[in-house]
Amino acid sequence: MDAKGNGEMAAAAAEDVERAIAGPTNPMVTPLLTDLYQFTMFYAYWKAGKHHERSVFDLYFRKNPFGGEYTVFAGLEECIKFIANFKMTEDEISFIRDSLPSSCEDGFFDYLRGIDCSDVEVYAISEGSVVFPKVPLLRVEGPIAVVQLLETPFLTLINYASLVATNAARHRFVAGKSKMLLEFGLRRAQGPDGGIGASKYCYMGGFDATSNVAAGRLFGIPLRGTHSHAFVSSYMSPDEIVEKSLQSSDGSHTCEDFVSLVQTWLNKIQWSPSLRGIFGETNQSELAAFTSYALAFPNNFLALVDTYDVVRSGIPNFCAVALALNDLGYKAVGIRLDSGDLAYLSCEVRKFFCAVAKDFGVPGFEKTGITASNDLNEETLDALNKQGHEVDAYGIGTNLVTCFAQPALGCVFKLVEINNQPRIKLSEDVSKVSIPCKKRSYRLYGREGYPLVDIMTGENEPSPKVGERILCRHPFNESKRAYVVPQQVEELMKCYWPGSSGKPRVELPALKDIRDRCIKQLEKMRPDHMRRLNPTPYKVSVSAKLYDFIHFLWLNEAPVGELQ
Amino acid sequence: MDAKGNGEMAAAAAEDVERAIAGPTNPMVTPLLTDLYQFTMFYAYWKAGKHHERSVFDLYFRKNPFGGEYTVFAGLEECIKFIANFKMTEDEISFIRDSLPSSCEDGFFDYLRGIDCSDVEVYAISEGSVVFPKVPLLRVEGPIAVVQLLETPFLTLINYASLVATNAARHRFVAGKSKMLLEFGLRRAQGPDGGIGASKYCYMGGFDATSNVAAGRLFGIPLRGTHSHAFVSSYMSPDEIVEKSLQSSDGSHTCEDFVSLVQTWLNKIQWSPSLRGIFGETNQSELAAFTSYALAFPNNFLALVDTYDVVRSGIPNFCAVALALNDLGYKAVGIRLDSGDLAYLSCEVRKFFCAVAKDFGVPGFEKTGITASNDLNEETLDALNKQGHEVDAYGIGTNLVTCFAQPALGCVFKLVEINNQPRIKLSEDVSKVSIPCKKRSYRLYGREGYPLVDIMTGENEPSPKVGERILCRHPFNESKRAYVVPQQVEELMKCYWPGSSGKPRVELPALKDIRDRCIKQLEKMRPDHMRRLNPTPYKVSVSAKLYDFIHFLWLNEAPVGELQ
C-alpha cells in the first residue's frame, strides 16, 4: 500500500467533506481550545519521531449522572464539525510557539502548519442514543499527536451536551408526555454558550421549546415567551393607556375602548355568583399591563399573574382581560405562575377558570392554560404530581441548564491501542481501569423488545448473532457473567468521519431527527432502568475473549508487590 | 432641553466609544442572546408608545454562593463590550419578525433597526470587588424597551462570571497564598466558553495559571501543562527511543546515550542506602515516556507519576531521569500526582526526594515540586491541610469550573423606577421583595480599616460623611439597625457607560489589574466574614429615609386581605 498516495487521496476527499460540513456552532471552538499539555505532548512525540504512530482512543464515561442508570449521548455533531474544519492558522501557531519553551525546534511549528484531520477516523454511537458507562461513545483513530489534540475539545463538546440532554430527558420522564416543557435557563447558564448549548440539548432530550432567541435562530427550536414582572410594574394604572381600540378577531368591528370593556368585565367577575367575595380591588398597575399586553398580542395573551397577589389580583385581572378579548373573538392563551405553592395555586386558578366558564357561559375557558415556573427541578415536578396540580406547561431554568443536581459528567478519553498493541491504564480504583483494545460494541435485545445488555468485543471477533447464545462477562468482576440469546443485535458505533479509510461516512442527522431518535430510544428502555428511585443498572459486558485479554494485560503491566 | 439633539450628540459620542471598545469575547453574544419575552415586551411597549419611558433597573443577587458570606463581582467588562457594540443586523430583525405573531406591525421592525445603547447609562461596582446581597452590582438606566433587552445577556454574562470568580477566591483562601493554583477545567466545563470564562474568572479570583490555551491567548493568562497518562502508555519500552543524545544545559558537551544514563541512575537509586528494597523493576513504558519527555523538554521536565504505581514505579523512574538531567546541568521541575491518597503520597514522595538529595549529594533535589490533581475542591484542600501534606501546586478542574458545590448564582434584574416613579416588586417571600428607587450605595469602613457595612440611599440623599454618625437600617427587618461612624466612605458605583448623560466614562481596567484589585479586596475583609465554617454575615443596610419609603410603597401596592 502506498501510504502517502492514500493520505493524499484522503486529504482531497476530506476537502470535499470540509466544504460540506460547516464549522462548530461556537466560533471559539478552534484548535487552541485544548489543554496546553496536548501541544507539549505533540512536541515530545514529534521530537521522538513518534507523532505518526497509529493510535486508538476511546471516549466514554464511568458513571451515569443524577443517580440514574442511563445517559443520553449528545455533542457528536459539534465534534464532527470541529474536525471537518480543523486547521491551525498562522496566528495560532505563533501563539503556540510563544507558549512552548524557546528550546523547541522550528521544524515543529512548520509541521503544525500542515496538520488536519484527514487521517483521523471517528466511529461513534448515534447522537441522541441512550448510552451506558464504559461503552465507548466515540472511538478515535489516527496519528497519536493529532488525536491527542482532539481530546480536550471532544470532551468539552460532549460532556456538558450529554449531561444536559440527560437532565432534560429525566425532567421529561417525571413531567409526563402530555405536559409542555419550556427551557428558560439562559440567564443562569454557565456563560453564553452554556445557555445556547442547554437550549439545543434540552430540546434534543425532549423539551418542546426555549426562551433563548439565539438558540431558536441557530437550531430552529420553537420559541416561547411573553412578559416579566418588570413589564407589570412598569405600568401605573389603566389611565396611561392611550390607544384603547381593538379590532375584533374576524375584522368585522372595532371596540373603541377596550380599557373600559376590561373594567366592565372586572366588575362583573367581582360580583359573579361563584366568585363574590374572593377579591376586592385588584392592582391597577397589573390591570394596565395585562390590558396593554392584550392590545399588542390579542391572539397570544398569556399573563404572569404573581407580581402582587395571584388570587386576589392577578387572576381576576387576567380573567377580565381574557373575557374582554373573548367578546372580540379572541381566545386567551393562559397564565404563568412564578412563585408560591404551585400545586395549591394551580388548583385555585383552575377553580377560578371553571367558575368563570360557568358563570359567564364561556365554554372552554376552564381549560385556559396554566404554566408554572420558579426553581423547578425533578423533585419539585415529582412533588407536584404527588400533591395533584393543574399545571399544563412548565418553564424550567436554573436546575435544568446548570444541571444543579450534578453539574459535570466525567467523560474520559483513553488510549486503548497504539501500533496495533493494546494498551491499558491501571488504577488502584478498579472503576478507573480502562478497557484495552480496539473494540466493537453491540446492544443485545431480548424477547420483549427491550435492550438487555451492551457487549464489547475485540475488533476482529465475530459479531453476536440473533438466536445464538453468547457469554457476557462483567469486565472486572469475575463472578458476574450471563448467557444471552439475543433476539436482535445492534452494532453501536458507526463511521462518522472516515479519514483515509475509504469507508462511507454516515451523514449527520438534523436536530429534529436526533430528538426523535432520543425520545424513541428512551421509550424502548425497560421501565425499571428509568425510574427515579433505585433504578436497576443496565448491564454492560465484554466477550469472554476480551475479558481474558484484559486480565492478561493487567497482570502484565502491574508491578508485583513485596510484603515486608 | 432638546432631547433629540442631545440624543444625536450622544449617538455620535457613543460611536466614538464604540470604535474604542471591542465586542464581547464570544461572538455568539449578540442582541439575540436574550429571552423571547424581551422582544414581546418591547413590542407591547412600542405599541403602547411606552418604549421610550426612562427606567432604572438594578442588577443584584439575593444570597452569597457556597454557603459563604461574600461574592466576587465579575463579568462587567463583557457587559460593556456588549452594549458598546449593540446593534441589530437585518438578519436578526428578520428572525424576530418570523418569531413574533404575524399581527405585529411593520413599523416595529423599522424601529428595531435604529436601536442601540447610546441612550443607556450603566453604573457599576468595579469588577473584581467583593460584593454582598441586595446591593446593586449594576444600575442600568434608559428607555425601558432597550434596557429590557439587556436583562438576559447581562445576567448571563455576570451570573457565571461572579460565581466562578468567587469559587476561585474560596479555593485560594483554603489553599493559602504560597501554593500555586492551576485551573485545569476545560474538558469538564459547561461548554466551550464555560471553559474559557472559567479560565478568565478563576485567574481573576486568584488562580495563577490555566491549561486552556484559547484562554491563555485571549486573556494573557499564564499557561501550564506537561503530559497525560496516554503519553505514558503510548510507549512500550526505552528500546524504541531512537534519538538518544542530549546536549548539556551550558552547551559544553553532549551525552550520546541519555537512555543508558537514565538506566544507570535507576540502578543506583535502587541500591542506594536509603532506598534499597523500596522498589523492584519499574514500568518500562513509563520509563521510556519520561525519558522521551525529558529529551524534548530538558528544562521543563515535570512527570505524571501515577500511571502504574507512584512509589514503586513513577517516582523511581522520575528520579532516574531527573538525576540524569542533573548530570547535564538541568534541574527537573517536579512531578504530578493524579490519584490516590494525596496527603500520604505527597509525603512519601517528599521523603523519596530527600533520600535522593542525601544519598547522591544533590542539594535542592528535596525541594523538587509536587503538583496534585484529581477531583480537588475546597473540602479536599482543607482535609489535606489538616492531614499534613507536601503539595506545592494544585491543579483543579471539575469542581472549580462547574462550581459543583453550587452551579448557579441567582442574580436578578429588577425595575426600581420608571418616569421618576419608584417601583417595587412584592413577594410573599420577603427576601424576594425588591428595594425600590434609583439609589446610591456606599461602603463604610471602621477604625481597623475593615469594611463595616454597605448602605444604600436614595439618589439625592446626602452621602455619608467620614466621622459623622449615620443610622444603618436592615431593609426589611424593623428591629435590625445600628449607628455607624465611618472612618472612610467609598461610593460603590461608577459610571462605566455614560450614554447621553455627558458624564465621564470610567475606563475598563486590564484583567491583571482587576485580579490585583480582587486579591486586595479579599485581603481587606475582616477574617470572620471569610472563614469557611459559620462565617459572620456582612451587614447590608439602607438609610432611614429609604427604609421609610420602601415600607410606604409596600403598603401602597399590597392588596389588603379580608379574613372570612
- For residue B18, which of B77, B117, B115, B85 has the smallest C-alpha distance? B85
Nearest CB among B152, B213, B404 relative to A32 is that of B213
Verify whether the Cβ–Cβ distance B197 to A188 is below 8 Å.
Answer: no
pLDDT of residue A11: 52
Question: Is 60 exceeded by the pLDDT of residue B564?
Answer: no
Residues B134 and B550: their CA atoms lie apart, in Å, by: 14
Asked whether A255 and A298 are in contact (CB, 8 A), the reply is no
Place of cell 465586542: B23
Q: How far is A47 from chain B (nearest CA, A)?
A: 6
Question: Is 70 exceeded by the pLDDT of residue B224?
Answer: yes
Nearest chain A alpha carbon to B187: A156
Verify whether the Cβ–Cβ distance A35 to B230 is below 8 Å.
Answer: no
Nearest chain A alpha carbon to B145: A231
Lookup: cell for B271: 541500591
- Say whether A59 sits in a helix, a strand or coil: strand
Q: Which residues, at least 6 apart from A177, have a Cβ–Cβ distance to it below 8 Å?
A: none
Query: Which of B193, B243, B435 is the best substitution to test chain A (most A C-beta atoms within 10 A)?
Result: B193
Residues A366 and A260: their CA atoms lie apart, in Å, by: 24
Q: How far is B468 from chain A (nearest CA, A)?
A: 37
Question: Is 70 exceeded by the pLDDT of residue A52?
Answer: yes
Verify whether the Cβ–Cβ distance A43 to B241 is below 8 Å.
Answer: no
Spell B511-542 as b/e; 16+ CB within 10 A means b. Answer: beebbebbbebbeebeeebbeeeebeebbbbb
- List B residues 232-251 in contact with A (Cβ-Cβ < 8 A): 233-234, 236, 240-243
Query: Which of B25, B28, B66 is the best substitution to test chain A (most A C-beta atoms within 10 A)?
Result: B28
B378-387 helix and B342-359 helix, angle to the nearest 10 degrees:
50
Q: Which helix (H) or strand (E) holds A372?
A: strand A369-372
pLDDT band at A4 (very low <50, low <70, confident <90, very high): very low
- For residue B182, which of B148, B208, B220 has the smallest C-alpha distance? B208
pLDDT of residue B193: 83
Asked whether A151 and A57 are in contact (CB, 8 A), the reply is yes
List of chain B residues whose C-beta atoms are within 8 Å of the C-beta of residue A193 = 26, 28, 191-194
What average pLDDT does this structure show over B206-220? 97
Which amino acid belongs to residue A425? K
Residue B561 burial (C-beta neighbours within 10 Å; 0-12, 13-18, 19+): exposed
List of chain B residues whose C-beta atoms are within 8 Å of the C-beta of residue A558 = 308-309
Q: Which residues, at least 6 apart from A487, have a Cβ–Cβ distance to it below 8 Å?
A: A445, A446, A447, A449, A466, A467
- List A residues 311-330 in contact with B (Cβ-Cβ < 8 A): 312-313
Which amino acid belongs to residue B355? A
What average pLDDT does this structure show over B194-214? 97
Q: Using one digit for the tens of pLDDT, what is the confidence trace for A303-354? A: 999 988 999 999 999 999 999 999 999 999 999 999 999 999 999 999 999 9
What average pLDDT does this structure show over A358-377? 96
- For residue A82, which of A29, A124, A11 has the smallest C-alpha distance? A29
CATH class of A235-370+383-388: alpha beta
Q: From the CB of residue B165, how many other CB atoms can be counted at a distance below 10 Å?
A: 30
Residue B206 Ramachandran class (φ > 0 left, ψ -120 to 50 alpha, else beta) = left
Architecture of the domain delimited by B232-387: Alpha-Beta Barrel (3.20)
Nearest chain A alpha carbon to B41: A227
Altogether, the residues listed in chain A come to a count of 564
List of chain B residues whose C-beta atoms are within 8 Å of the C-beta of residue A413 = 230
Tell whether A226 lies on the interface with B, counting CB pairs under 8 A. yes
pLDDT of residue A157: 98
- For residue A126, which of A495, A499, A457 has the smallest C-alpha distance? A495
Asked whether A294 and A301 are in contact (CB, 8 A), the reply is yes
Q: Using one digit for the tens of pLDDT, what is the confidence trace for B369-393? A: 999 999 999 999 999 999 999 999 9
Q: How far is A217 from chain B (nearest CA, A)?
A: 7
List, as one string, the DSSP characters of B311-378. IIIIHHHHHHHHHHHHHTT----EEEE-SS-HHHHHHHHHHHHHHHHHHTT-TTGGG-EEEE-SS--H
List of chain B residues whose C-beta atoms are within 8 Å of the C-beta of residue A425 = 229-230, 233, 307
Q: Which CATH number fits domain B3-169+406-557: 1.10.3210.10, 3.20.140.10, 3.90.1150.10, 1.10.150.120?
A: 3.20.140.10
List of chain A residues whose C-beta atoms are within 8 Å of the C-beta of residue B44 = 227, 231, 292-293, 295-297
Question: Is 50 exceeded by the pLDDT of residue A424?
Answer: yes
- Quote ipTM for the complex: 0.94
Q: Which residues, at least 6 apart from B110, have a Cβ–Cβ distance to it below 8 Å?
A: none
- For residue A326, which of A288, A289, A366 has the smallest C-alpha distance? A366
Query: Which of A66, A160, A183, A187 is the best substitution to test chain B (most B C-beta atoms within 10 A)?
Result: A187
Q: Using one digit for the tens of pLDDT, what is the confidence trace for A438-452? A: 999 999 999 999 999
Least confident of A231-235, A437-441, B235-239, B424-428: B424-428
Residues B115 and B42: their CA atoms lie apart, in Å, by: 11
Q: Using one digit for the tens of pLDDT, what is the confidence trace for A83-100? A: 999 999 999 999 999 999
Phi first, then psi: give them for residue B200, nearest 5 degrees: -65, -50
For strand B539-542 and strand B451-458, is the pairing parallel, antiparallel, or unpaired? Answer: parallel
Q: How far is B197 from chain A (nearest CA, A)?
A: 7
Average pLDDT, chain A: 94
Verify whether the Cβ–Cβ distance A281 to B39 is below 8 Å.
Answer: no
What average pLDDT does this structure show over B284-308? 96
Lookup: cell for A11: 486529504
Nearest chain B alpha carbon to A96: B213
Parse chain A into domains and list their residue ranges: 3-169+406-557, 235-370+383-388
Average pLDDT, chain B: 94
Residues A42, A48, A51, A56: is their CA dihedral positive or negative?
negative
Q: From the CB of residue A363, how many other CB atoms can be counted at a distance below 10 Å?
A: 8
Residues B295 and B324: their CA atoms lie apart, in Å, by: 11
Nearest CB among B95, B423, B564 relative to A233 is that of B423
- For residue A270, which of A282, A259, A258 has the smallest C-alpha distance? A282
Residues B99, B100, B101, B104: is their CA dihedral positive or negative?
negative
- List A residues 3-42 in contact with B (Cβ-Cβ < 8 A): 24-30, 32-41
Residues A432 and A50: their CA atoms lie apart, in Å, by: 27
Verify whether the Cβ–Cβ distance B27 to A29 is below 8 Å.
Answer: no
Query: Which of B32, B40, B308 is the best substitution to test chain A (most A C-beta atoms within 10 A)?
Result: B40
- Say whether A187 sits in a helix, a strand or coil: helix
Q: Which residues, at least 6 apart from B455, have a Cβ–Cβ distance to it below 8 Å?
A: B441, B442, B444, B464, B470, B472, B484, B541, B542, B543
Verify whether the Cβ–Cβ distance A33 to B194 is below 8 Å.
Answer: no
Asked whether B347 and B313 are in contact (CB, 8 A), the reply is no
pTM of this structure = 0.95
HSE-up of B161 (CA within 13 Å, CB side)?
Answer: 23
Question: Is 80 exceeded by the pLDDT of residue A358?
Answer: yes
List, as one string, the DSSP characters of A13-58. HHHHHHHHS---SSTT-STTSSBHHHHHHHHHHHHTT-TT-EEEEE
Nearest CB among B99, B307, B312 relative to A425 is that of B307
pLDDT band at B562 (very low <50, low <70, confident <90, very high): low
Nearest CB among A339, A414, A560 relative to B427 is that of A339
Question: Is 70 exceeded by the pLDDT of residue A15?
Answer: no
Verify whether the Cβ–Cβ distance B192 to A233 is below 8 Å.
Answer: no
- Say whether A91 sits in a helix, a strand or coil: helix
Nearest chain A alpha carbon to B150: A187
Question: Is 50 exceeded by the pLDDT of residue A264?
Answer: yes
Nearest CB among A47, A285, A558 relative to B296 is that of A47
Residues B539 and A460: their CA atoms lie apart, in Å, by: 69
Q: Which residues, at least 6 apart from A18, have a Cβ–Cβ distance to it below 8 Å?
A: A84, A85
Verify whether the Cβ–Cβ distance A402 to B155 is below 8 Å.
Answer: no
- For residue B154, which of B38, B16, B44 has the smallest C-alpha distance? B38
pLDDT of residue A3: 42
pLDDT of residue A562: 61
Question: Is 60 exceeded by the pLDDT of residue B9?
Answer: no
Asked whether B225 and A36 are in contact (CB, 8 A), the reply is yes
Tell whether A334 lies on the interface with B, counting CB pairs under 8 A. no
- For residue B434, which of B414, B417, B453, B452 has the smallest C-alpha distance? B414
What average pLDDT does this structure show over A145-164? 98
List of chain B residues whose C-beta atoms are within 8 Å of the C-beta of residue A240 = 50
- List B residues 76-115 in contact with A (Cβ-Cβ < 8 A): 92, 95-96, 99, 101, 103
Question: How many contacts, defined by CB atoms under 8 Å, are there between A and B?
Answer: 407
Q: How far is A155 from chain B (nearest CA, A)?
A: 5
Nearest chain A alpha carbon to B189: A156
Which 3-state string (H, E, C) describes B410-432? CCEEEEEEECCEECCCCCCCHHH
pLDDT of residue B2: 41
Nearest chain A alpha carbon to B24: A192
Which 3-state string (H, E, C) describes A477-512? CCCCEEEECCCEEEECEEEEECCCCCCCCCCCCCHH
Nearest chain B alpha carbon to A309: B559
Lookup: cell for A52: 505518526
Tell whether B487 lies on the interface with A, counting CB pairs under 8 A. no
For strand A439-445 and strand A488-491, is the pairing parallel, antiparallel, or unpaired? Answer: antiparallel
Question: Is 60 exceeded by the pLDDT of residue B3?
Answer: no
Residues A289 and A270: their CA atoms lie apart, in Å, by: 19
Verify whether the Cβ–Cβ distance A299 to B101 is below 8 Å.
Answer: yes
List of chain B residues whose C-beta atoms are within 8 Å of the C-beta of residue A45 = 231, 234
